[in-house]
């Protein structure tokens, strides 16, 4: 699918899905939309990863990774791309 296959609203909602708790809201509100759901699932995994900030060392690395990838995911979703984030996409696919 090309970026032209998704509406402007789909792209916006997909991008917003990378903003922490908004990912859960988008997942619930747009559960029938495969594009938004794809990004919301990845956003939820990143949200959970960013909650590990309190663990010194590995938690900081995971949180830093999550924040960087959230920005990338936001940008990709806003431009109509279904970008599979390594490791994150595998976990995201398990969310029903």
Distance CA 4, CA 22 (A): 24
Distance CA 37, CA 58 (A): 28
pLDDT at 1 over 70: no
Distance CA 85, CA 28 (A): 21
Number of domains in the chain: 1
| Residue 80 near residue 11 (C-beta atoms within 8 A) | yes
pLDDT at 5 over 60: yes
> Can you give the pLDDT at residue 76?
94
Nearest to 69 by CA among 6, 35, 19, 13: 19
* DSSP structural state of residue 80: T
Q: Among 39-43, 48-52, 76-80, 84-88, which is the least confidently predicted range?
A: 48-52
Tell me the per-residue pLDDT of 14-69, one tens digit each, with 9 for 90 and over: 999 999 888 999 999 988 999 999 999 999 998 888 888 888 888 889 888 888 99
């Amino acid at each position: 699918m090309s970026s032209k296959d998704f509406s402007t609203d789909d792209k916006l909602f997909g991008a917003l899905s990378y903003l922490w708790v908004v990912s859960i809201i988008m997942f619930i509100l747009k559960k029938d939309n495969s594009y938004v759901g794809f990004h919301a699932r990845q956003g939820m995994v990143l949200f959970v990863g960013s909650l590990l900030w309190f663990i010194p060392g590995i938690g900081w690395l995971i949180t830093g990774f999550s924040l960087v990838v959230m920005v990338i995911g936001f940008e990709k979703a806003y431009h109509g791309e279904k970008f599979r984030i390594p490791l994150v996409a595998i976990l995201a696919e398990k969310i029903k």
